[in-house]
Structure 1
């Protein structure tokens, strides 16, 4: 944590100006190493932004004490496959499909040698099942040929696998290996911008900019907290601002329904379907 960050008072966004300063202030990175001139996305000081980001994460942690990866898995391979399959479908649907899949194909070698027609039949409920069949078979083959059939616990290795980008790699690292990582999916990116943590639409930039605000040890749980909030409250089209536990620290308060009763009706309970 940066020197002095922990001593700043928690000041709700509604009590601060969010207009950029006329002359950008000198700011200090969250790592505490050096300083650089330049405005933050909301115009607040760097230390204030760090403090506010961490306050939001703490509040979300209280709101979602059971936050976790919503894909069911027992091994790194199962999580890797489930995450690849989750593209353009819901976690609920993936979880309904994977018990049969995992029982029939328990190893990377099993996927590598799978008969496409048999695999397609299992994956058909997920949509794009032919492409996903090719992806899973290719993934199994790459794991067998290059990593002795084991899922590698390093980001640089994971992203070389077919169908695996930084988002999928960070999901696997954080939840299967305990290696901290920020998972920037559509929910995380949307909320990071609404919270004023970044202005970027580039997932890699979002990952790095948010990573400067939050201690590395908290990155995996931060991802869960933010994604759960995005799925349940801070929706893309109609965010439930009036039922939001972090409304006081959000510069985007008011983009959605602010009346408490109406906002409460927008809140989704349990895993979205």
Structure 2
């Protein structure tokens, strides 16, 4: 079934569309696992910082040795970027990440006694920590409702007609408006896994995608065909 042939099945109302998408995601990925291996909030924070422009699989390959050397903020704060680099050199943007990790660990020690704060503002005040990273830590380490949106989730939300925002921040607001708060954490993971399996950035065939086949607009399908 193609996107054009099934267009009449797509609910026009965003909340109705979101409900249908949520049902499909729950059927496909009923219990999605947190993809980044970690032992506590600090290690999750480190792993999320490393995951920028790097696969989760690669991050999970490098963190065991890094955490064996520096399992907590107090230990990592004593390391220089040059000392961190050998552990993360196979991750993308490694030099910048080494500096960010060293500074972030020092911030935790200086401002929070070496503990990761369960507070959005305090997290985003740490070196190397943006809103998306803070959101992941808040929801996955502390269970605080959040809907982390990266470029991949932003792309799928656009394809599915759930947001027309130009930024991930606007897309996050749009997704929070159409999905129940108690489902945000699960949906964040489900959309990530769905994108990896069915909805890649390039060489995407909308008619073969379980959701894009009915949710994608004619105009969006035409744009996809040109890629």
The alignment's TM-score, normalised by the length of structure 1, stands at 0.74
The equivalent position to 2:210 in structure 1, one of 240, 245, 252, is 245
Are the equivalent residues in 1 in contact too, given 2:10–2:214 (CA < 8 A)?
no
Where structure 2 has 5 or more consecutive residues not aligned to the other structure, the ranges are none
Q: Name the counterpart of 1:131.
A: 96
Gaps of 5+ in 1: 1-11, 19-43, 258-273
For 1:101-112, list aligned pairs within 5 A: 101-112=66-77
Corresponding residue number in structure 1 for 2:189 = 224
Return closer, same or farther for 1:72/1:252 CA change in 2, 3 Å cut-off.
farther
The 1-side partners of 2:147 and 2:29 are apart by 17
Determine the structure 1 residue equivalent to 2:18.
53
Which residue of the other structure, out of 170, 173, 187, is the alignment partner of 1:208?
A: 173
- Aligned to 1:113, the other structure's residue is in SS state coil
Contact 2:9 2:214 in 1 (8 A): no
Q: Distance in 1 between matches of 2:133 and 2:19?
A: 24
> 2-side partners of 1:16 and 1:59: how far apart?
14
Q: Secondary structure at the match of 1:218?
A: helix
Matches within 5 A, 1:1-273: 14-15=7-8, 44=12, 48-247=13-212, 249-252=214-217, 254=221
Structure with a larger share of its residues in helix: 2
Partner of 1:8: none
Max radius of gyration: which structure?
1
Aligned pairs, number: 218
Tell me how far apart the structure 1 counterparts of residues 10 and 176 of structure 2 sit (CA, whole Å): 24
Residue 17 of structure 1: how far off its partner (Å): 8.1
Residue 62 of structure 1: how far off its partner (Å): 1.1
Structure 1 stretch displaced more, 172-181 or 240-249: 240-249
Q: CA deviation at 1:247?
A: 4.2
The alpha-carbon distance between structure 1 residues 206 and 247, as it changes in their structure 2 partners (threshold 3 A), is: closer
Aligned mates of 1:88, 1:214 — CA distance in 2:
27
Conservation of the 8 A alpha-carbon contact between 2:50 and 2:59: yes
Q: Counterparts of 2:9 and 2:105 in 1: how far apart (Å)?
A: 52
Once the two structures are TM-superposed, the CA of residue 163 in structure 1 deviates from its matched residue by 1.0
Which secondary structure does the structure 1 equivalent of 2:183 belong to?
Answer: helix
2-side partners of 1:17 and 1:227: how far apart?
Answer: 22
Provide, for residues 24-51 of structure 1, a one-character-per-residue CA deviation record: whole Å limited to 9, x for no partner.
xxxxxxxxxxxxxxxxxxxx3xxx3202
Question: Following TM superposition, where does structure 1 have runs of at least 4 consecutive aligned residues deviating by more than 4 angstroms?
Answer: 253-257
